[in-house]
Amino acid sequence: MEVTTVALSAGDTLNIGEIRTEWHWIKPAIEEILEANPHLTYIPEDVYAEVKSGHAVLWVADKAFAVTTSETDQYSGEKTLLVWVCWSKPNGTSVLFRHLEELTRVAADSGYAWIETRTQNERLGEALEHWDWELDHIVYRRSCHVFKT
């Protein structure tokens, strides 16, 4: 599938990337994400494996990338395009926002009912609401390890 978005500036298009070709800069970016978010349980090689196996798609733009996966609701059958990993330099110019409309169009044209991302960052949520995203649910977790004897 060949997908290219409209350039927002010279050289700033969103394309499906080849993980092996891009790995030299994708891996350190994922390590940066994981260092800033120690609650995440995957490692960079998990992302590589998901993309290489076809279970995820790597999207590459100027100094940015996103990795998307597909989820299907077990009851309604509706498909959701999940923006799983997203990174850009400089921080605050997320590929998600720079190419949001085009990524949403690609999702709709591919039969997705929803596009979704997950974050612990409340500021990101506020920014997404500006782009007509809505809060769907909040998950609270508690470790059970405190009860182990």
> Quick check: is 5 in a domain?
no
Domains identified in the chain, total number:
1
| Tokens of residue 91, six digits | 């921080």
Note whether residue 6 is domain-resident: no
pTM of the model: 0.83
In this predicted model, what pLDDT tens digit does every residue of 11-51 receive, in sequence order?
Answer: 578 899 999 999 999 999 999 999 999 999 999 999 999 99
The answer to whether residue 25 is domain-embedded is yes
Dump pLDDT digits (tens) for 61-97.
988 899 999 999 999 999 999 999 999 887 655 666 7
Q: Read off the pLDDT of residues 116-146 as tens digits, 9 standing for 90 and up.
A: 988 877 777 788 888 788 888 877 777 787 7
Range of the domain at 119: 15-147
CATH of the domain at 108: 3.40.630.30
Share of the chain above pLDDT 70, in %: 87
Q: Is residue 3 part of a domain?
A: no
